Amino acid sequence: MGDNPAVRLMIASLLGLAMIGCGKADAAGPGNFVGDARRGADLVKNYHCGGCHDIPGIAGADGNVGPPLHRVGTRTYIAGYIRNSPDNMAAWIEDPQKALPGNAMPRMGIPQKDARDIAAFLYTLK
């Protein structure tokens, strides 16, 4: 099987695609996104996001239920499926079940303005 040129070509192609898909890529930056990162940091504390997530810069935010949020501002995807952009991040925070039904993150009742400010804070984590 390893000597078959078609198999070798297919394996090389798949490896090439995997390398492209997993390469270092920056998420879409906040550019014209409107959100208050300082207020967002306070909201992260108020909504107790650190009970589930390890969040740098937030005292006591050392949860291990959800993924750590270190460098979340540079990730390509949210929850492995949703393109990471400020608007998508805010939508995810506001209603993660609407954004990706059946995922583990519950809806926390976070209004849109708060979600945008939290997203602005998360984009400072690079």
- 69: exposed, middle or buried (C-beta count within 10 Å: 0-12, 13-18, 19+)? buried
Asked whether residue 22 carries a pLDDT value surpassing 90, the answer given is: no
114/94 Cα distance (integer angstroms): 8
Phi and psi of 99, rounded to 5°? -70, -40
For the chain, the straight-line distance linking the first and the last C-alpha, in angstroms and rounded, comes to 44
At 7, is the pLDDT very low, low, confident or very high (cuts 50, 70, 90)? Answer: low
Asked whether residue 8 carries a pLDDT value surpassing 90, the answer given is: no
| Confidence (pLDDT) at 34 | 86
Asked whether residue 23 carries a pLDDT value surpassing 50, the answer given is: no
Q: Average pLDDT of 16-31?
A: 46
Prediction pTM value: 0.76
Mean pLDDT, the chain, integer: 84
Place of tokens 């750590």: 68
| Confidence (pLDDT) at 9 | 54
Q: Detail the DSSP E strand segments found in 3-81.
A: 77-78
